[in-house]
Amino acid sequence: MVAASTLKTFSVTLRVWRQAGPAATGAFVDYPAKDISPDMSFLEMLDVVNDELTAKGIEPIAFAHDCREGICGTCSCTINGKPHGPGKGIATCQTYMRSFNDGDTIVVEPFRARAFPVVKDLVTDRAAFDKIQQSGGFITARAGSAPDANALPIPKGDADLAMDAAQCIGCGACVAACKNASAMLFVSAKVGHLGLLPQGQAERDRRVLAMVNTMDTLGFGSCTNQYECSAACPKLISHDFIARMNRDYLTASLRSAFKPAPANTGGGAA
Amino acid sequence: MATLDSKIPSGPLAEKWRKHKTEIKLVNPANKRKYEVIVVGAGLAGSSAASSLADLGYKVKCFVFHDSPRRAHSIAAQGGINAAKNYQNDGDSVHRLFYDTLKGGDYRAREANVHRLAEVSVNIIDQCVAQGVPFAREYGGLLANRSFGGAQVSRTFYARGQTGQQLLLGAYSALSRMVGAGAVDLHTNSEMLDLVVVGGQAKGVIIRNLVTGEITRHSADAVILATGGYGNVFNLSTYARGSNATAIWRAYKRGACMANPCYTQIHPTCIPVSGDYQSKLTLMSESLRNDGRIWAPKKAGDTRAPAAIPESERDYYLERLYPSFGNLAPRDIASRAAKRVCDEGRGVGSTGLGVYLDFADAIKRLGEPAVRERYGNLFDIYHEITAESAYKAPMRIYPAVHYTMGGLWVDYNLMSNIPGLFVLGEANFSDHGANRLGASALMQGLADGYFVIPYTIGDYLAGQKPGSRPAAEAPEFQQAEANVRGQTTRFLATKGKQPVSHFHKKLGKIMWDRCGMARTKAGLEAALQEIPALREEFNASVNVPGSADTLNQSLEQAGRVADFLDLGELMCRDALTREESCGGHFREEHQYPDGECKRDDEKFGHVAAWEYQGEGKTPVRNTEALNYEFTKMSVRNYK
Ligand SMILES: Cc1cc2nc3c(=O)[nH]c(=O)nc-3n(C[C@H](O)[C@H](O)[C@H](O)COP(=O)(O)OP(=O)(O)OC[C@H]3O[C@@H](n4cnc5c(N)ncnc54)[C@H](O)[C@@H]3O)c2cc1C
Ligand code: SF4
Ligand code: FES
């Protein structure tokens, strides 16, 4: 962590990626951010800068955000080269200005990855994650047909480990941090979460095959075990889940080699 | 005047829902695919509804303004979800959950709705576990529970401090499955800006694509709004920044009645405001009150560090005032108590607007690791925001806007007074009366989506001829589209001096001061002058830069704040008219000597449902009497 600021308020220079639209060419532009309180969040600082830009007749910087408490996965800035900024285990919106110092130049860019095209300025299109989920990231359970919840005890250790994986907020920092722009951490978190639970066994093979294959077709790179992903992950999802998924994938591939199963069947009323 | 027929089924309370399900009309399976249903919103209520309806065979189109359904504000719910499972064998039952919720709502909800909610609560947990929601478990492998405010049993299921996230991801996975199967046509980055009413029935929506600016018309056999709450009227709240009232407000302007808009919930345990740049307030989950003790110095103006204040000079005021519920008194009561303490000059922190939530005893009793296991992520959030450790010193907390009990009026089938328009989740007014108990919004959202709407929508659709939905070229669609385009053009053309945020902040301050934790006739009357004046200023001098055909966040915000200005005014009007105190609605003129809410069941034992009359005209206040057949409306007592 960067040393906490001691000044009451301070000033920094923002070097921000501005890009008018998906097809436009972007460039860095510098803006001053003055009289910043160390207790402001990074996004609140952007709010203040944006109001100033608006007053000057300059279009404000588009940036993605919503919950502003680290859970929705919307915010997605790369700050000084790090997806989500300097703090460990937090999202952009949980970054506070006390992590910076008077006079700093702060470089702010969108998450960069081939599968996440820039929409405008700092906003990217992460729909690829939804497509991966739609291909198999679920347990089929029609409303009304579930057995009693306690009919199936689950060892606490398994449930806790599943929860560790399930905490993924779908932000894409893992992809942005990876030099290959691989989505393995994100996919393995979902595969791990559902695969660890007894309810998830019936579709386990189909799920891992479908999700990994979809990931591959969407332009994400492959994993070369550098683990930049888990270091940038705001939920500190462990790369152990990647190893676990690789095993699952192998087993499922072998099994399906003998008994081919359709990979992408949603079920229901299509 | 709108007719408000609640359509509550006859018969004994515990039989109503079962009986109703057997009596309402069904759509046969072969016909279901001939009906198209629009679902706006994919939070807990919207995704559970969209996936369940698609699973039944309806054609579903789902719109969300977010870039993914998984980002809906439901994701942020921390503490838990109630269900009458009685897994703890501590005396819980459907009836007790029903009673606690009704009483928690200060007897301003419908008995039949609340009972149904309690009944289906048990199915929700089953459903979520089947989907793979990793609820907390005991060592034996069974599900764990915790306690929440307003209840004396342990019936809250949770997934660490991220229950909403896990429930939403469960519903999102169900929705994703149906999208993958081609049964739901999902549109992200798509904001509904108008409702289309044809022949008195809801038959479509107008959507603006937030990325391309494209405006499109969509026709359907029925429209479901599951668009969440409107607490951002106050600007500062625990809501996500994007949460807004636009969908329900535009439906209101098309004739849907807005019920009890003044019922807002102020949550007692949030991180206090630190400066005027502040964009949101962060909740510290109510579950913390299981182990944390709330206190303030006995002496006004005591600026000593908390550790320097001896036990004898601390006032554990909730334990003192409400010995049987103690720190788990319901939210409205706990919030007002904190406000009073601060009004007496006993508040803590640099602003004096704060009280302590202290874990020292819990850490002594359970040890730090156990406390970390239960609340670690909340303590981390607290630390990130304040740079203070709650393991070492008590948290500072203050009440903040958190939930809106009011919403569009719906009948027992969750249909509004516009036939074909259904409203689910926080967007409707149905189940929480004047105050919502903790862990019951998640329950309601999923109840509505998984277990109520799949039945009740059939009752309406069975009366619609398959294939009879209007064409999107119908004049009503053209008119609605022109309306949307007109507004967009106006905002961009104003080219005033002030950013949208300026007006939102000002409105928020008016609402918090005049229509917040304590309300008075004089204050509300003043607000009814101030808000229209602010609206005029907004119309004359808002500055919305950029264009309409790209991502333009200022433009999005302008539309939302315009709606908040209108809705804020209606909330104040509703609060002024309701000459009583109940739940979250506290009128200083109406209180008992000990400061508790003084209801007037005779005059106000009803739902107020406001009906739009046109721009600048005073809306009509319709009422639906609350007929309590099985419970006695009594004075809430948590002492
Ligand atoms: C911080 C916090 C913690 C909470 N904790 C708890 C808890 O522990 N237990 C509990 O029971 N409750 C809790 N609540 C309350 C609960 O989370 C919400 O009431 C509930 O999740 C609302 O769900 P919903 O589906 O109605 O709406 P939301 O989840 O808000 O979803 C709204 C959806 O509508 C869409 N939408 C909105 N407007 C439009 C439009 N015009 N066009 C297109 N799409 C639109 C959005 O994109 C989104 O998909 C908490 C609330 C907060 C703020
Ligand atoms: S694994 Fe971590 S970094 Fe990747 S999407 Fe999930 S939360 Fe974000
Ligand atoms: S804005 Fe929701 S995670 Fe940052």
Q: In what order do the strands lie in the sheet with B215-219?
A: B190-198, B201-209, B215-219
Within 559-578 of B, beta carbons closer than 8 Å to A belong to none
Look up residue B86 and give its amino acid. N
Rounded CA-CA distance B399/B235 in Å is 14
**For B355-364, B437-446, B590-599, which range has the lowest pLDDT when averaged over its residues?**
B590-599
Span B565-581, average pLDDT: 98
Residues in chain A within 8 Å Cβ distance of B186: 130
Give the number of beta-carbon pairs within 8 Å between A and B.
254
DSSP B562: H
Q: What is the pLDDT of residue B2?
A: 87
What is the distance in A from the centroid of ligand 1 to the CA of B402? 11
B67 near A CB under 8 A? yes
What is the rounded average pLDDT for all residues in chain A? 93
A242 near B CB under 8 A? no
Pair of tokens at residue B48: 């559970």
Residues B139, A67: C-beta atoms closer than 8 Å: no
Q: What is the pLDDT of residue B402?
A: 97
Contact A193, A205 (CB under 8 A): no
> What torsion do the CA atoms of B104, B109, B115, B121 make, to the nearest 10 degrees?
-60
Residues B499, A54: C-beta atoms closer than 8 Å: yes
Rounded CA-CA distance A87/A96 in Å is 9
Strand partners, B37: B60, B222
Q: What is the pLDDT of residue B374?
A: 83
Contact B321, B370 (CB under 8 A): no
Residues in chain B within 8 Å Cβ distance of A197: 132, 134
3-class SS at B623?
strand
Q: What is the pLDDT of residue B148?
A: 84
Strand partners, B422: B224, B415
Rounded CA-CA distance A243/B286 in Å is 37
Q: Report which ligand 2 atom has the smallest distance to the Cα of A185.
A: 1
3-class SS at B253?
helix
Residues A197, B70: C-beta atoms closer than 8 Å: no
Residues B387, A40: C-beta atoms closer than 8 Å: no
Residues in chain A within 8 Å Cβ distance of B166: 163, 166
How many CB atoms lie under 10 A from the CB of residue B299? Answer: 13
- Say yes or no to pLDDT of A192 above 60: yes
Residues in chain A within 8 Å Cβ distance of B131: 138-139, 141, 199
Q: What is the pLDDT of residue A229?
A: 97
- Say yes or no to pLDDT of A5 above 60: no
What is the distance in A from the centroid of ligand 1 to the CA of B427? 9
Does the Cβ of A73 fall within 6 Å of ligand 3?
yes
Q: What is the pLDDT of residue A93?
A: 97
A138 near B CB under 8 A? yes
- Residue B224: closest CA among B206, B250, B205, B200: B205
Rounded CA-CA distance A262/A242 in Å is 23
Pair of tokens at residue B452: 């109520």
What is the distance in A from the centroid of ligand 3 to the CA of A88? 15
Ligand 2 pocket test: pick from A75, A76, A167, A169 the residue with the most ligand atoms within 8 Å of its Cβ: A169
**Cα A61 to the center of its chain, rounded Å:** 21
Q: How confident is the model at residue B443 (pLDDT cuts 50, 70, 90)?
A: very high
Query: For A116-157, what is each residue's pLDDT tens digit?
Result: 999 999 999 999 999 999 999 999 999 989 999 999 999 999
What is the distance in A from the centroid of ligand 1 to the CA of B426? 7
Q: Where are the alpha helices (DSSP H) in B259-308?
A: none
- Say yes or no to pLDDT of A260 above 70: no
Query: For B228-252, what is each residue's pLDDT tens digit?
Result: 999 999 999 999 999 999 999 999 9
Q: What is the pLDDT of residue B377?
A: 82
DSSP B372: H
Residues in chain A within 8 Å Cβ distance of B451: 143-144
What is the distance in A from the centroid of ligand 1 to the CA of B248? 14
What is the distance in A from the centroid of ligand 3 to the CA of A64? 8
- The interface predicted TM-score of the complex, written ipTM, equals 0.95
Within 24-43 of A, beta carbons closer than 8 Å to B belong to 37, 39-41, 43
Q: What is the pLDDT of residue A259?
A: 67
3-class SS at B549?
coil
Residues B132, A194: C-beta atoms closer than 8 Å: yes
Q: Which domains does chain A have, with CATH numbers?
A: 8-120 (3.10.20.30), 127-142+150-258 (1.10.1060.10)
Span A8-32, average pLDDT: 97
Q: What is the pLDDT of residue A3?
A: 39
- Say yes or no to pLDDT of B270 above 80: yes
3-state SS of chain B: helix, strand, coil percent to 5? 40, 15, 40
Strand partners, B195: B205
B110, B146, B289, B331: the active-site residue: B331
Q: Closest chain A residue to B181 measured between Cα atoms?
A: A266
Query: For B393-407, what is each residue's pLDDT tens digit?
Result: 999 999 999 999 999
For residue A34, CA distances in Å to A109, A220, B90, B290, B524 come to 20, 39, 57, 42, 38
Tell me which H or E stretch contains B334. Answer: helix B331-343
How many CB atoms lie under 10 A from the CB of residue A4? Answer: 12
Residues B275, A40: C-beta atoms closer than 8 Å: yes
- Say yes or no to pLDDT of A266 above 60: no
For residue B205, CA distances in Å to B88, B409, B549 come to 46, 19, 20
For domain B266-402, the CATH architecture is Alpha-Beta Complex (3.90)
Q: What is the pLDDT of residue A50?
A: 98
Residues in chain A within 8 Å Cβ distance of B129: 146, 149, 152, 199
SS (H, E, C) B143-197: ECCECCCCCCCCCEECCCCCHHHHHHHHHHHHHHHHHHCCCEEEECCEEEEEEEE
Residues A268, B68: C-beta atoms closer than 8 Å: no
Q: What is the pLDDT of residue B287?
A: 84
Tokens 């934790």, located at residue = B517
Rounded CA-CA distance B406/B410 in Å is 11
Tell me which H or E stretch contains B223. Answer: strand B222-225
Ligand 3 pocket test: pick from A78, A93, A95, A235 the residue with the most ligand atoms within 8 Å of its Cβ: A93
- Say yes or no to pLDDT of A2 above 80: no
Query: For B303-348, what is each residue's pLDDT tens digit?
Result: 999 999 999 999 999 999 999 899 999 888 999 999 999 999 999 9
Rounded CA-CA distance B559/B555 in Å is 7
Residues B454, A143: C-beta atoms closer than 8 Å: yes
Residues in chain B within 8 Å Cβ distance of A91: none
Q: What are the DSSP calls for chain A, one per residue? A: -PPPP-SSSEEEEEEEEE-SSTTSPPEEEEEEEEEE-TTSBHHHHHHHHHHHHHHTTPPPPP---SSSSSSS----EEETTEET-SSTT--GGG-BGGGS-TT-EEEEEE---TTS-EEETTEE--HHHHHHHHHH-S----TT-PPPGGGS---HHHHHHHHHHHT-----HHHHHSTT-B-HHHHHHHHHHHHTSGGGSTTHHHHHHHHHHHHHHTT-B---S--HHHHH-TT---THHHHHHHHHHHHHHHHHHHS---S----TT-
Percent of chain B with pLDDT over 70: 100
Query: For B107-147, what is each residue's pLDDT tens digit?
Result: 999 999 999 999 999 999 999 999 999 999 999 999 999 98
- Say yes or no to pLDDT of A264 above 80: no
Nearest ligand to the CA atom of A76: 3
Span B157-186, average pLDDT: 97
Rounded CA-CA distance A188/B242 in Å is 30
Does the Cβ of A82 fall within 6 Å of ligand 2?
no
Nearest ligand to the CA atom of B70: 1
What is the distance in A from the centroid of ligand 2 to the CA of A167? 9
> What torsion do the CA atoms of A219, A221, A227, A231 make, to the nearest 10 degrees?
-30
| B331 part of the active site | yes
Q: What Rg, from alpha-carbon coordinates, does chain A have?
A: 21
A143 near B CB under 8 A? yes
3-class SS at B572?
helix
Span A186-195, average pLDDT: 98
- Say yes or no to pLDDT of A6 above 60: no
- Say yes or no to pLDDT of B483 above 50: yes
How many CB atoms lie under 10 A from the CB of residue A105? Answer: 11
- Residue A239: closest CA among A185, A191, A195: A185
Does the Cβ of A184 fall within 6 Å of ligand 2?
no
Q: Which of B125, B387, B545 sits opposite A60 (nearest CB)?
A: B545
Percent of chain B with pLDDT over 90: 93
3-class SS at B632?
coil
Span A14-39, average pLDDT: 97
Does the Cβ of B237 fall within 6 Å of ligand 1?
no
- Say yes or no to pLDDT of A268 above 80: no
- Say yes or no to pLDDT of A261 above 70: no
Q: Which of A44, A193, A268 sits opposite B278 (nearest CB)?
A: A44
What is the rounded average pLDDT for all residues in chain B? 96
Pair of tokens at residue A183: 């989505």
Q: Report which ligand 2 atom has the smallest distance to the Cα of A170.
A: 5
Tokens 């709606």, located at residue = B563
Span A210-233, average pLDDT: 96
